[in-house]
Amino acid sequence: MSPIRVLEESVAERIAAGEVVERPASVVKELVENSLDAGASVVDIEIRGAGTRLIRVADDGEGIPSAEVALAFQRFATSKIRRLEDLDGVQSYGFRGEALPSIAAVSRVVLTTRTEGPEPAIRAVVTAGVVEELAACGAPRGTVVEVERLFHNTPARLKFLKSAAREGFLIAEAVHRAAMANPAVTFTLTVDGRLAGRWPGSSQRERAAELLGAAGLGDLVHAQEAVPGGRVEAWLGRPERARPNRLGQHLFVNRRPVSSALLRRAVEQGYAQLLPVGRYPAFVLCLEVRSDSVDVNVHPRKLEVRFKEEGALFGAVAKAARTALLASPLVRSAAALSLAAGRPIWGTALGDDSRGGGQEGSEGALPLWPRSERVAEPGRPGAAYIGGQRLPSLRPLGQALNTYVVAEGPGAIYLVDQHAAHERVLYERLVASRRSGGVPYQLLAVPVTVELPAAQMALLVDRQDSLRLAGLDVEPFGPRTAVLRSVPVLAAATSAEETLHRALGALAVEGEGDGAFERLCIATACHTAIRAGDRLSPEAMERLLTDLEAAEDPFTCFHGRPTVIALPYTQIERWFLRG
């Protein structure tokens, strides 16, 4: 590293300054980043009393020359940049020279460091920002920073801390993230004298699996793509592993853990219609971009990032995720379902494959037929990602529980969820009707007047065109009354008033990305599709399967539920101990 220097005031002022030590986890993060900047290959972290008693970070990095140790505790003293221009190409985590002084101001710091060469190690003791002791000592190459009694002189901040368990979790998360972004480095975390985690140097893929808690690497879908100014690599959790919150989403830009609504939404866009409403995918996304296409300095804790070409980046990331997801087998094999509920009676004989499909909770999936490329239409979200992949030709055998069509097809027996499948078929048909002037409608013999609350009236006025395109010819007819003249042909058999209410309900929920017309099509399809429990004639089953085969995206309904599950013959043979 270059020598440590105090940044000129003009430079220091231009760098967004701020509190870097908010809580124990931020101290851990800063110290670990310093170790990584020093080129460490092993970083050992030790915590006592949730970090308030002790935080100790030891590394085998290049150390600090003894003449510079005291300087390292001065504000804006850094070895990482000198001029403002250097900021543009900054590769290191640190560049502000703020962490050590800020930490030392609110604790007692003992720093022991040694560089390569004959110089002895040096030990500095700094209390409340004042260097009290500076003496040579014996130590191996590298740096150990011990932070004791954190926040002892700022009781307000101490009080602000959450429970020990919560702070401990945040610390572990900080270490996990650093480990993810630096897979070649070995990390250990010791909490109150007990080894809490050890991450031996490994690949990014393995670290991603660990971070996501994926049962096996096969559970992650890998995506890789060039993006404006660099490249993106992501490990995506399978749709059926989605969670009720976004806690499983991890973003890294040039090895920094960041938060970015843009990137998060781009990946979620890739999952469009593969997930049920209210479920969020888990993933790790690592973006490597030229430093001139990203600004990491917008927030003092360096968490927020901004990008130059936002639109192009969004599209590229969404497409990368989408392409990878669709190229992976999405039809869940029966092993997933039949075995997820409990352990197999015959142990491994029921296993889906050697990876342990027979394990509880394992959701294996089999590629049953080759997939062709899908084409993403730029500019149109969600349903626009269609084309290519089809369901094989299926022969219906009968109906189970008046809910599932049981069918025979290449390599497997298939169970088709009649409601989900029909929803998918109707939805695609309705959306496609846009090209031919709109959804086929039927004029009502007697127009229906409907009383509506003000909010719904506003929606109606606002979206009158979309409503008309979706088969609903409706107009305001007074401040609280609307008159409905037509309904979609599909909904002709149901109450016109209810059809309108459902349509307005669909417009009220603002779905990310989906247009008003698509949402109206969803409402109509959902409302009019064959229901679970409906008895189907052999002809109706035949028609449903033929229609589903023709669908462009046959594997899920628009709520993200699967339409079809395959029971591979190889699996059935194993069940009967034939294989």
Which amino acid appears at position 59 of this protein? D
Q: Which is nearer to ligand ADP, 115 or 524 (CB)?
A: 115
Shortest CA distance to 564 belongs to which of 433, 359, 419?
A: 419
The pair phi, psi for residue 186, each rounded to 5°, is -90, 130
Pick from ligand ADP, Mg ion, none: which does 273 bind, CB < 5 to 8 A by kind? none
Q: Which is nearer to ligand ADP, 140 or 213 (CB)?
A: 140
Beta pairing, strands 194-199 & 186-191 = antiparallel
Size of the site for Mg ion (CB under 5 A): 3
Pick from Mg ion, ligand ADP, none: which does 214 bind, CB < 5 to 8 A by kind? none
Rule CB under 6 A: is residue 60 a binding residue for ligand ADP?
no
Rule CB under 6 A: is residue 32 a binding residue for ligand ADP?
no
Q: Which is nearer to Mg ion, 30 or 352 (CB)?
A: 30
Q: Which is nearer to Mg ion, 12 or 420 (CB)?
A: 12
Task: Please identify which residue in 61, 65, 94, 229 interacts with Mg ion, judged by CB under 5 A.
Answer: 94
Beta pairing, strands 306-307 & 294-295 = antiparallel
**Of 369-428, which residues contact Mg ion (CB under 5 A)?**
none
Shortest CA distance to 168 belongs to which of 146, 196, 149?
A: 196
Instruction: Provide the CB-side half-sphere exposure for 184 (13 A, CA).
Output: 5
Minimal distance, residue 516 CB to ligand ADP, in Å: 49
Pick from Mg ion, ligand ADP, none: which does 376 bind, CB < 5 to 8 A by kind? none
Task: Please identify which residue in 27, 47, 100, 147 interacts with ligand ADP, judged by CB under 6 A.
Answer: 100
Rule CB under 6 A: is residue 96 a binding residue for ligand ADP?
yes
CA–CA dist 60, 142 (Å, integer): 4
Rule CB under 6 A: is residue 65 a binding residue for ligand ADP?
no
Rule CB under 6 A: is residue 109 a binding residue for ligand ADP?
no
- Give CA separation, 517 vs 180, 474, 520, 521, in Å: 41, 15, 5, 6
Shortest CA distance to 414 belongs to which of 562, 240, 271, 305?
A: 562
Residue 393 DSSP one-character state: P
Pick from Mg ion, ligand ADP, none: which does 98 bind, CB < 5 to 8 A by kind? ligand ADP
Minimal distance, residue 99 CB to Mg ion, in Å: 4
CA–CA dist 525, 547 (Å, integer): 14
| Strands of 256-258's sheet in order across | 220-227, 230-237, 283-289, 249-253, 256-258
DSSP characters for 237-286?
Answer: E-GGG-BSSSTTEEEEETTEEEB-HHHHHHHHHHTTTTS-TT-B--EEEE
Q: Which helix (H) or strand (E) holds 200?
A: none
Rule CB under 6 A: is residue 80 a binding residue for ligand ADP?
yes
Minimal distance, residue 219 CB to Mg ion, in Å: 35
Rule CB under 6 A: is residue 1 a binding residue for ligand ADP?
yes
Q: Which helix (H) or strand (E) holds 181?
A: helix 164-181
Rule CB under 6 A: is residue 280 a binding residue for ligand ADP?
no
Minimal distance, residue 33 CB to Mg ion, in Å: 6
Pick from ligand ADP, Mg ion, none: which does 328 bind, CB < 5 to 8 A by kind? none
Q: Which is nearer to ligand ADP, 46 or 240 (CB)?
A: 46
Pick from Mg ion, ligand ADP, none: which does 115 bind, CB < 5 to 8 A by kind? none
Rule CB under 6 A: is residue 44 a binding residue for ligand ADP?
no
Shortest CA distance to 143 belongs to which of 34, 63, 73, 65?
A: 63
CA–CA dist 219, 549 (Å, integer): 27
Rule CB under 6 A: is residue 95 a binding residue for ligand ADP?
yes
Overall residue count recorded for the chain in this entry: 579
Pick from ligand ADP, Mg ion, none: which does 35 bind, CB < 5 to 8 A by kind? ligand ADP
Task: Please identify which residue in 27, 28, 38, 339 interacts with ligand ADP, judged by CB under 6 A.
Answer: 38
**Sole window of 27-35, 148-156, 195-203, 566-574 interacting with ligand ADP (rule: CB under 6 A):** 27-35
**Sole window of 7-15, 34-42, 398-406, 429-437 interacting with ligand ADP (rule: CB under 6 A):** 34-42
Pick from Mg ion, ligand ADP, none: which does 59 bind, CB < 5 to 8 A by kind? ligand ADP
Rule CB under 6 A: is residue 72 a binding residue for ligand ADP?
yes
Residue 185 DSSP one-character state: S
CA–CA dist 242, 446 (Å, integer): 47
**Of 31-50, which residues contact Mg ion (CB under 5 A)?**
34
Task: Please identify which residue in 79, 107, 466, 571 interacts with ligand ADP, judged by CB under 6 A.
Answer: 79
Contact predicate 529/491, CB 8 Å: no
Q: Which is nearer to ligand ADP, 98 or 268 (CB)?
A: 98
**Sole window of 11-19, 30-38, 214-222, 332-340 interacting with ligand ADP (rule: CB under 6 A):** 30-38
Which amino acid appears at position 110 of this protein? V
CA–CA dist 174, 257 (Å, integer): 9
- Give CA separation, 511 vs 14, 217, 265, 507, 526, in Å: 40, 32, 12, 9, 16
Task: Please identify which residue in 24, 51, 61, 344 interacts with ligand ADP, judged by CB under 6 A.
Answer: 61
**Sole window of 93-101, 241-249, 250-258, 456-464 interacting with Mg ion (rule: CB under 5 A):** 93-101
- Give Cβ neighbours of residue 468 (< 8 Å, ≥ 6 apart): 438, 474
Shortest CA distance to 275 belongs to which of 512, 509, 466, 434?
A: 512
Q: Which is nearer to ligand ADP, 98 or 167 (CB)?
A: 98
**Sole window of 29-37, 176-184, 289-297, 380-388 interacting with Mg ion (rule: CB under 5 A):** 29-37
Instruction: Give helix 164-181 / helix 24-37 axis angle, nearest 10°.
Output: 20
CA–CA dist 500, 465 (Å, integer): 14
Task: Catalog residues that contact Mg ion under the rule CB under 5 A.
Answer: 34, 94, 99
Interface residues with ligand ADP (CB under 6 A) are: 1, 4, 30, 34-35, 38, 59, 61-64, 72, 77-80, 94-100, 143
